[in-house]
Amino acid sequence: MAQSDNFWWYITLSGPAGMEDVLSSAAENSGCIGSMVTNHGESVDVQVYYRANRDLGGWLAVLRPFLEPWKDVTVSDMGKVENRAWNTEWMDAFPPLNVGKKLVVMAPWHLGEQEKGRIPVVIYPGSAFGTGYHQSTQAVLILLERWLRPGDTVADIGCGSAVLSIAALKLGASMAYARDLDPSAVSEAVRNTMELNGIDSAKLEIGVGNLLKGFDHKVDLLLANILFEPNMAMLPDVAGVLNDGGRAVFSGLVVEEGEKFKKELEKNGLRLIDEVRLDEWCGIAVEKI
């Protein structure tokens, strides 16, 4: 299905009240182009929108693994939305967003509107995963700015649109290795993001991969904006890919999950060095012991 087709798919997720952020994060990780939250008192619906470049069953297969930790979440509806200019309608929904002291996340049609001195990280909202506007992504960017050292080599695990790799390279990293389980993110969205940001392809190695399985590089800084379960699954392998003095930043965790995650650090050769909380989400920075 060509990108120019004038429809997109939707999948509606339903769950108990209070799960808005969890459902929205799962939607964003699955490669959606947007979502809409509707509260119904004791329950909440999140309608998730996908491009027409694959069939609806394919998008459902991508989404389901991100819902597995949440047994009380159901898919209540799905279908097609016809004949609306999606990208035009969403342009005003992505104004430049200042993050930390140095960065600004922005859509390409807003280039030139950033504050003087801010480093633009340009993301097209139709890309696979990651507009940079979700609190979990912002938490990683804040910690990245604090803990990246000039010349660091970086791993971006579960990279989606590669917003973290792009930011790291613009902040002075020498090399970034970006991996994602979704081949569409690797083949399309990441490369689009590289072009938007003028990144030298020699400095960003992109590949399909499942967390750190088969990852054969040593890095100074690992970044992972993924959900609780994959973060936990990857944790035993993190220290092994870090150089001496290496650091890692994890996000995609609600605060309660972050507390559980921190209890597992030392037994996996890591110690807490920093933390950022934005609403119900937290980012955690660690260093190799």
2 lies in some domain: no
What is the DSSP pairing of strand 270-278 with strand 281-288? Answer: antiparallel
What is the extent of the structural domain holding 153?
A: 94-288
Q: How does pLDDT run across 110-142, given as a tens digit for each residue?
A: 888 888 899 999 887 644 345 566 788 889 999
Query: What confidence score (pLDDT) does residue 88 get?
Result: 56
Verify that 100 and 59 share a domain, yes or no: no
Query: What confidence score (pLDDT) does residue 3 get?
Result: 42
Verify that 19 and 102 share a domain, yes or no: no
Report the distance separating Cα 116 and Cα 98, nearest Å. 11
Verify that 115 and 232 share a domain, yes or no: yes
Verify that 48 and 114 share a domain, yes or no: no
Verify that 114 and 155 share a domain, yes or no: yes
Verify that 121 and 79 share a domain, yes or no: no
Distances (CA, A) of 244 to 92, 144, 156, 172, 219: 45, 18, 18, 19, 9
Verify that 102 and 52 share a domain, yes or no: no
1 lies in some domain: no
Per the CB < 8 A criterion, the answer to whether 123 and 110 are in contact is: no
Of 51, 86, 121, the position where a domain reaches its end is 86
Supply the CATH number for residue 56's domain: 3.30.70.260
Per the CB < 8 A criterion, the answer to whether 286 and 272 are in contact is: yes
Alpha-carbon 227 to chain mean position: 9
Portion of the chain with pLDDT greater than 70, in percent: 88
271 lies in some domain: yes
Q: How does pLDDT run across 148-164, given as a tens digit for each residue?
A: 999 999 999 988 778 89
Verify that 26 and 164 share a domain, yes or no: no
232 lies in some domain: yes
- Residue 75 burial (C-beta neighbours within 10 Å; 0-12, 13-18, 19+): middle
Report the distance separating Cα 158 and Cα 179, nearest Å. 6
Of 86, 114, 136, the position where a domain reaches its end is 86
Number of domains in the chain: 2
228 lies in some domain: yes
C-alpha closest to that of 156 among 135, 116, 129, 134:
129
Verify that 82 and 104 share a domain, yes or no: no
Alpha-carbon 198 to chain mean position: 20
Query: What confidence score (pLDDT) does residue 282 get?
Result: 92
Query: What confidence score (pLDDT) does residue 127 get?
Result: 40
Beta strands in the chain (DSSP E): 7-16, 34-39, 43-50, 74-82, 97-99, 103-106, 119-122, 153-157, 175-180, 204-208, 219-225, 242-254, 270-278, 281-288
3-state DSSP assignment of residue 151: coil
105 lies in some domain: yes
Q: Which tokens is 108 given?
A: 């390409």
Supply the CATH number for residue 158's domain: 3.40.50.150
> What's this model's pTM, rounded to 2 decimal places?
0.69
264 lies in some domain: yes
Report the distance separating Cα 90 and Cα 67, nearest Å. 26
Verify that 44 and 151 share a domain, yes or no: no
Verify that 137 and 245 share a domain, yes or no: yes
- The sheet with strand 97-99 has its strands ordered as 97-99, 103-106, 119-122
Taking the chain (289 residues) in runs of 10, the rounded mean pLDDT of each run is 61 88 86 83 88 83 88 85 56 78 88 88 61 79 96 93 91 94 70 82 90 94 92 95 97 90 96 92 95
Of 86, 115, 144, the position where a domain reaches its end is 86
Verify that 201 and 132 share a domain, yes or no: yes
187 lies in some domain: yes
Query: What confidence score (pLDDT) does residue 273 get?
Result: 97
